[in-house]
Amino acid sequence: MSTDCKYMAEQIVGLLIDKTIVGIVLPEDEESFGFIAVDLDSGKDDRTIVWVDQDAEGNGPGWLNIEPPK
């Protein structure tokens, strides 16, 4: 794994660990998408919006390859 990939993965995990996905986000133009994650144990409205982007500049939607448990 490249250093950049490792750094980015650690940053993402740091922001999302212990959060639960509770909804989706679609802007009015439907040109992108994302999801809402919350810490269900916090007792606060601490919604984190996660946009799935093609690149850091947000030039389009991306793709998540999700592997189910085996």
Asked whether residue 58 is domain-assigned, the answer is: no
Q: Is 29 helix (H, G, I), strand (E, B) or coil?
A: coil
End-to-end CA distance of the chain: 23
Block means of pLDDT (10 residues each) for the chain, length 70 residues? 79 88 94 91 85 85 81
pTM above 0.75, yes or no: yes
Residue 25 lies in a domain: yes
Residue 44: predicted pLDDT = 79
In a domain, 19, yes or no: yes
**Could you tell me if residue 34 is inside a domain?**
yes
pLDDT of 11: 84
Q: What is the pLDDT of residue 1?
A: 56
In angstroms, the CA 38 to CA 28 distance is: 23
Q: How many folded domains does the chain comprise?
A: 1
In a domain, 24, yes or no: yes
Please indicate, yes or no, if residue 62 is contained in any of the structural domains. no
18 falls within a domain: yes
Domain that holds residue 38: 3-51
